[in-house]
Structure 1
């Protein structure tokens, strides 16, 4: 059967879905955890308790000073978006971060580099971009570029980690599509919230997404350089 025919494409898609948990067990488990957490917070917890939980795990300056570990890891267990309001920008964000970023690009990273490295990339992007953004916020506050209430701003979710693996997945697309893909990775945060510029810098979450993308692109460049060196040296596994 030709894989390019509609029937072949459908068969391939069904096979990919059926084998997804086995081929990407870490990603599959993480997606299930995120979905369960979303349902719990949105549908089971009382509204005031849900708001208190989101406030507690937000990676703002006050929380990073008071309980950094809880904020950094807790914020990666919920996604800031919606699964039901399909016409909202929140649903578009969910499609990009949870759908494309985690379900697709994190799964590709896991299959390509292994579960431990995939987890390291995702958490490294999430934590690294968060801490770099905190440094930018401190600098902006010192110069009066951001309002003081940014210290308690709500900022939780998976999007920084997702942005990092989206950038790394530039290596997964054909060479002709890599520049458009990179442009998409950089453009969607600017389109979503980049219109708000309280000063010489965009809104701080936009800064965070751009920093997360930079981490992913840097890692992609490092992977490419390492592979090129192995090919030139004829190292085992370089093919």
Structure 2
């Protein structure tokens, strides 16, 4: 059977996605606006000293997590670490992936598919769990002298772990033939930076992105298995009803 034009052609689907964006992805839209306001407030309204102090306070590093974990986690998720306007900056590619593709695209898709509360849970779950798992990896690496001691106070804030999680979950949104390339892209882009490995492990932010991707892929796999079980149960029920109807005749 030939699928309808809207399903066969990506452009009509994209236009429909954008047209219904505010109505079907209100949480994502509000989050993006909040990130933009916070970014420009930090860049243009606070003094450089106060901005640096705020970044240091919300960084989810080993110095802050034992002292004020909740405020660090929440503050980190509300401040975007990167450039939104300077397209010549090397970090602008990260903006396109994390904020553009991750939050604006994939988080919006998750919200449409699973609802606002579950989308929030996926994003925050990835943000928090990846941060905590990364902290464990840092502690282990420090014990093995793989990371320098100053990593305890390193700057580490932003939306990228949550965005990486929803990027991985969105493997369910692409056609089956594209799922492996999509998964390869999600894993590869954090490894494409020019930072040197301080030891057997990459830098801790790369580790965090890979852990966030693993969480997203695990959730996607669990969701796919649950759908398959539901489909098999429905088929078995339909077959049983058909058999009963045949016997009744």
TM-score range, shorter chain: over 0.9
- Write out per-residue CA displacement over residues 13-66 of structure 1, whole angstroms, 9 at most, x where no aligned residue: 554333211110110110010011011001111111111100000000000011
Question: Aligned ranges for residues 83-94 of structure 1 at < 5 Å?
Answer: 83-94=84-95
Secondary structure in 2 aligned to 1:168? helix
**TM-score, normalization: structure 2?**
0.89
Looking at CA atoms only, which structure, 1 or 2, has the larger radius of gyration?
Answer: 2
Structure 1 unaligned segments of length 5 or more: list them. Answer: none
1:175 alignment counterpart: 176
Structure 1 residues 84, 234: closer, same or farther in 2, change over 3 A?
same
Counterpart CA distance in 2 for 1:3 and 1:123 is: 33
Counterpart CA distance in 2 for 1:45 and 1:90 is: 22
Question: Aligned ranges for residues 69-88 of structure 1 at < 5 Å?
Answer: 69-88=70-89
1:24 alignment counterpart: 25
Question: Aligned ranges for residues 45-194 of structure 1 at < 5 Å?
Answer: 45-192=46-193
Secondary structure in 1 aligned to 2:219? helix
Secondary structure in 2 aligned to 1:38? helix
Query: CA RMSD for the aligned pairs?
Result: 2.1
2:217 alignment counterpart: 217
Secondary structure in 1 aligned to 2:60? coil
Secondary structure in 1 aligned to 2:91? helix
Native 8 Å contact 1:89 1:192 kept in 2? no
1:232 alignment counterpart: 232
Q: Between Structure 1 and Structure 2, how many residues are aligned? A: 233
**TM-score, normalization: structure 1?**
0.92
